[in-house]
Structure 1
Amino acid sequence: METVDRGWTSWRGRAVEPVVREALRRLLPDERWPDAREIGGWWPRTNNPEADLVAADRSPARKLSFAGSIKWLERGAFGARDLAVLARDAQVVPGADAGTPLVAVSRSGFAVEGLAAAYGA
């Protein structure tokens, strides 16, 4: 049963990503992110690194509003390690740089500061 549980957790995380992107699409653009008209994700063929969320002005993007991560864990808030991985991986996204705002969506809350925005379930 342990293998099924691990597989379920991984599958559930992947399955919720398009739902979260659609939810953000419905919330944005807003005053904070007026140019966030397209919400997607970015990853190379190797799937590493990965940005679960990328907000842009259009598709194909000319300007990024933010890059982000989705953590859909039952236990364990989005923490410092998650933020460090996001900061590292976001810089690889075409059009992003060290100044690109970082956002996160978490099912179990946040245990870190330094995000431009934090969205809950």
Structure 2
Amino acid sequence: MLPVKDQQAALEEFRSLPPVAPREVVGLWNGRGIPAGHPFDRVLENLGSFGKRFTSDIRAGVLLFRSGDRRLAAVGIPLRLALRFHEGGRMRVARNLFSPASSLRESSVASV
């Protein structure tokens, strides 16, 4: 795990990175969290988040979550719901409850 930073330090580090052209991000990206003292720290990782897919028309799909060994499920999580239950999202029980729910709400599935 990366060292914890405060949100301002994390933003400054992000802003210091060189820019990339939109065509350079097209494809499937496996993301990871950067601990920054934000309420959502470790929530997506606990729920099995994989990352995002960026399309050639420069759109980012909804979050991708692991669904089985080699499959990804695209799942939209309403922001109000996420904000309300973010503390529970770090608990082991949340991972167990979220996994079956994600298969019911998948909007698209891809193979890894």
Give the TM-score, by structure 2 length: 0.30
Looking at secondary structure, tell me which structure has more helix per residue.
2
Give the TM-score, by structure 1 length: 0.29
Q: Which has the larger radius of gyration?
A: 2
